[in-house]
Amino acid sequence: MSVPQIEQLDDEAARAARKPIATAISTFNAQASGISDPSRLLAITIRDPESREITGGLHGVSHYGWLFIELLVIPERYRGQRLGTRLMQQAEATARDRGCIGVWLDTFSFQARGFYEKLGYEVFGEIADYPPGKSRFWLRKRLV
Average pLDDT over the chain, rounded to an integer: 96
* Per-residue DSSP letter, 82: S
User: According to the model, what pLDDT value does residue 50 have?
Assistant: 94
* Per-residue DSSP letter, 5: P
Confidence of residue 132 (pLDDT cuts 50, 70, 90): very high
Q: Give residue limits of the domains in the chain.
A: 37-142
Class of domain 37-142: alpha beta
Bridge pairing between strands 66-73 and 102-108 = parallel
How far from 8 is each of 2, 40, 55, CA to CA, in Å?
19, 30, 34
User: According to the model, what pLDDT value does residue 35 have?
Assistant: 86
Confidence of residue 61 (pLDDT cuts 50, 70, 90): very high
Q: Is the pLDDT of residue 36 over 90?
A: no
User: According to the model, what pLDDT value does residue 37 have?
Assistant: 80
